[in-house]
Amino acid sequence: MTDTSTASDDFKLGPFPRPLTVPYRKTIIIITGRGNIGKSTLSQVLLNDSISYVGTDAASMQTDHGIPEILKYLNDHINDKPEIDLGRFAHYIMATSAIRFIDYFFDRFIVNNKKMTIIAEGYLFTIPEAYVLFTNKCKRNGYRVWKMSRIC
């Protein structure tokens, strides 16, 4: 198996495939940053037919996880205008059901994802404990992880 590289037609650079130094099953690209900084916009720019996108914000609004605390929060905040405060919601998830939600997100959107490269983003990954829980699951499952974050 070889790794991949990217050719630059504009500058006549690459591609130069090379052997993998460590085998991996999937590649997870985690995009982090505070709210409304452009994580979703960057994800959209990077997407192509071989890359899947999953977001913790949208996943936290799902109801198929069956996590009572999250379902109660969603029910209690159903009339929030214009929408639920995702930052506050992410901290609530971490305080009440972190491991269960990360397990759900990982199994549902990463393990069961048919794509080999997955972009994962969302406010939840700005919380260090959530980021560590998620990346540890990735590493235990033989997935390589890349982190992208906006710094200014």
Residue 83 phi, psi dihedral angles, 5° rounding: -160, 170
Give the strand pairing for 117-121 and 144-149: unpaired
Q: What local confidence, expressed as pLDDT, does residue 1 receive?
A: 38
The structural domains of the chain, ordered by start, are 27-149 (3.40.50.300)
pLDDT score of 122 = 87
Question: Torsion angle, CA of 119/120/121/126, rounded to 10 degrees?
Answer: -130
Per-residue tokens: 151: 């710094």
pLDDT value at residue 83: 84
- Which pLDDT value is given to residue 3? 59
DSSP structure class, residue 39: H
At position 122, the amino acid (one-letter code) is: G
Per-residue pLDDT of the chain (152 residues; tens, 9 = 90+): 345 555 566 666 666 666 666 667 899 999 877 666 666 666 666 667 788 889 998 999 999 999 999 999 999 998 887 788 988 999 999 999 999 999 999 999 999 999 999 999 888 999 999 999 999 999 999 999 999 887 76
0.85 surpassed by pTM: no
CA dist 119 and 46 (Å) reads 9
